[in-house]
């Protein structure tokens, strides 16, 4: 029987541009570049449309990379036995942290006026978690993680 989970959080990055908005953006970019290319062809600047096409290709590649990284997720699980962090993508999962709950600590480190890092610590090992969250959400997540670890320790002891 699997151990009871005190926390099973899945953290995914936010993508502010939905697919429909992406299509509108690319459509507007293509129309603008076609009009601009026609103008430059009319005045005899033949290489310019090639660069305008490369511009659209660059935007497509950048958005593709953004949407691929948007499918990645970070799963933080706390049970009475262990704290586990895994990075998940569609069809695969990779565990990057595993430590006994009794000896795992949560630290919030401030990296600037408006930035904070949530770190799991075990002896000299450290792992930053919840990078995809806003600074306020990281603070809330750290508090929830500490409560989950305390509850898991209470089960064992």
Between residues 24 and 68, which one has the greater pLDDT?
24
CA 143-145-149 angle, 5° bins: 120
pLDDT score of 157 more than 80 = no
Q: Which H/E stretch holds residue 64?
A: helix 47-70
Sorted by where each begins, the domain ranges of the chain are 1-157
pLDDT score of 17 more than 80 = yes
* Residues sharing a CB contact under 8 Å with residue 149, sequence separation 6 or more, in sequence order: 6, 78, 83, 101, 104, 106
Report the C-alpha gap between 71 and 92 in whole angstroms. Answer: 12
Instruction: Assign 67 a pLDDT band (cuts: 50, 70, 90).
Output: confident
Predicted confidence (pLDDT) per residue in 139-154, tens digit: 899 999 999 999 998 8
Predicted confidence (pLDDT) per residue in 84-140, tens digit: 999 998 888 898 899 999 899 998 887 776 788 899 999 889 999 998 888 888 889
Report the C-alpha gap between 4 and 25 in whole angstroms. Answer: 46
Average pLDDT over residues 49-60: 93
The pLDDT value recorded for residue 1 is 42
pLDDT score of 5 more than 70 = yes
E strand intervals along the chain:
5-11, 73-79, 82-89, 92-100, 105-112, 115-122, 125-129
Average pLDDT over residues 19-28: 93
Report the C-alpha gap between 67 and 13 in whole angstroms. Answer: 10
Report the C-alpha gap between 32 and 147 in whole angstroms. Answer: 53
The pLDDT value recorded for residue 86 is 94
pLDDT > 70 in the chain, percent: 97
The architecture (CATH level 2) of 1-157 comes to Roll (2.30)
The pLDDT value recorded for residue 68 is 84
What is the pTM assigned to this prediction?
0.74
């Amino acid at each position: 029987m699997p151990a009871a989970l005190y926390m099973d959080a899945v953290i995914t990055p936010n993508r502010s541009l939905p697919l429909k908005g992406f299509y509108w953006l690319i459509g507007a970019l293509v129309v603008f570049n076609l009009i601009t290319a026609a103008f430059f062809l009319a005045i005899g600047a033949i290489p310019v449309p090639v660069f305008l096409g490369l511009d659209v290709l660059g935007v497509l590649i950048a958005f593709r990379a953004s949407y691929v990284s948007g499918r990645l997720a970070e799963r933080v699980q706390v049970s009475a036995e262990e704290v586990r962090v895994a990075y998940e993508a569609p069809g695969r999962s990779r565990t990057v942290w595993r430590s006994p709950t009794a000896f795992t600590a949560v630290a919030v480190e401030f990296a600037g006026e408006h930035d904070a890092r949530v770190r799991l610590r075990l002896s000299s090992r450290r792992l930053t978690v919840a990078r995809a969250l806003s600074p306020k959400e990281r603070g809330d997540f750290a508090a929830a993680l500490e409560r989950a670890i305390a509850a898991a320790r209470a089960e064992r002891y």
